[in-house]
Amino acid sequence: MKHHLPPLDSFKVFEAAGKHLSFSKAADELCLTKGAVSYQIRRLEQDIDTLLFRRTVRQVYLTDAGQLLLHSIQKVFQDLNVALAQLNPQSGYDVSIAATTYVAARWLSPRVAKFLEQNPETSIQFDHSVNNGQFSLDNVDLAVVWGKCDGPMDIHTLMQIPMPLFPVGNPGLANSLQQQPGSLKHTTLLYENRRQDLWLEWFGAATLENPIQVIEDANVRVQAAIDGQGLMLADAMMQTELTSGLLIAPFEKTISGYGYLLKSAGTNPVRTTAAAMINWLMQDFEATSEAF
């Protein structure tokens, strides 16, 4: 069957740029120049005749079409990772780590970079299929997953990283809610999914009548909040947007008891290099936990 698709390289470049919302960071990740990234993005936009990014002097933002394409591409890449892991788990890599692109970009990436400065010979594979229904801990050395952080740890959990959740919105929406708190009940709420209604927990209500928008990908959900599409529940990994003022937390109320769990299979022997990296990550978090 013939496929009339743009080159795969352009999708890889777009995924990196969309994930970071930065052509420079995408260039660093892919070992390309910023000009090469910009060229690939323009080429992809021309191939599909659709604008994927809004460019400003200091920042790029995904358009609605860009958000849709990013979500689709990440799902395809995740499915490929799952299939390859099932065919040949951990093949060719010293350490295999599973995490969403949100966690990988905001928490893991800088820590992995620090580890590699001290251990440059280590090869690492990132698996972003951690939320996929077919994901298995047996296929990776380490997984970072979101969940409850207020109880005893099971045999797979190495560490809990608690992070309270709190609503954020862009400056226009946040300022409006601070001036007119009653308008909150009419504000669109951005959801990851409806399987667990954390907004109900934050409101302390049995039911809500707010309009909702479901956006499964956390990076796209962040962009939607920046664009003013509604309020999202954020955690400390979004400190960059909060510090820059792209997003504002209009309320002091938080939800506790949730965060990220560092997990290993627990049934398979941990490879030597993987064990060293896991220990390093745990020690790094303990040393820098005040940053959260």
In one-letter notation, the amino acid at residue 227 is D
Query: 166-255 has which CATH code?
Result: 3.40.190.10
pLDDT digits (tens, 9 = 90+) for 194-233: 677 899 999 998 788 899 998 888 888 999 999 999 999 9
Pick 8-77's CATH classification: 1.10.3720.10, 1.10.540.10, 1.10.10.10, 3.40.50.620. Answer: 1.10.10.10
pLDDT digits (tens, 9 = 90+) for 140-197: 888 898 888 888 888 888 888 899 999 999 999 999 999 998 899 899 999 987 677 8
The Cα–Cα gap between 211 and 185 comes to 9
Q: What is the DSSP letter of 271?
A: P
Beta bridge partners of 61: 54
CA distances in angstroms from 45 to 16, 38, 49, 268, listed in the order given: 15, 11, 5, 45
What pLDDT does 51 receive? 94
Q: What angle, rounded to 10 degrees, do the helices at 34-48 and 8-20 form? A: 110
Query: Percent of the chain at pLDDT above 90?
Result: 33
- Residue in the structure block whose two tokens are 């979101």: 146
Six token digits for residue 166: 């709190």
The Cα–Cα gap between 103 and 129 comes to 12
Q: What angle, rounded to 10 degrees, do the helices at 23-30 and 34-48 form? A: 110
Top mean-pLDDT range of 3-7, 58-62, 170-174: 170-174
The mean of the pLDDT values for the chain is 85
| pLDDT at residue 20 tops 90 | no
How many Cβ atoms sit within 10 Å of the Cβ of residue 50?
A: 13
- Residue in the structure block whose two tokens are 């608690």: 162
pLDDT digits (tens, 9 = 90+) for 240-252: 999 999 999 999 9
Backbone angles phi, psi at 216, to 5 degrees: -70, -40
Domains 8-77 and 93-163+259-291 share a fold: no
DSSP E strand stretches across the chain: 53-55, 60-62, 95-98, 124-127, 142-148, 157-162, 166-168, 189-191, 212-214, 231-234, 258-263
The answer to whether the beta carbons of residues 10 and 43 sit under 8 Å apart is yes
In one-letter notation, the amino acid at residue 42 is R
Query: Model-level pTM greater than 0.85?
Result: no
The Cα–Cα gap between 37 and 17 comes to 8
In one-letter notation, the amino acid at residue 158 is L
- Enumerate long-range contacts of 62-69, CB under 8 Å, 24 or more apart: 62/18, 62/21, 62/220, 62/223, 66/18, 67/215, 67/220, 67/223, 67/224, 69/14, 69/18
| pLDDT at residue 105 tops 90 | no
Please tell us whether the domain made up of 93-163+259-291 is placed in CATH 3.10.129.10: no
So where are the chain's domains? 8-77, 93-163+259-291, 166-255
Six token digits for residue 105: 């970009």
Beta bridge partners of 232: 168, 190
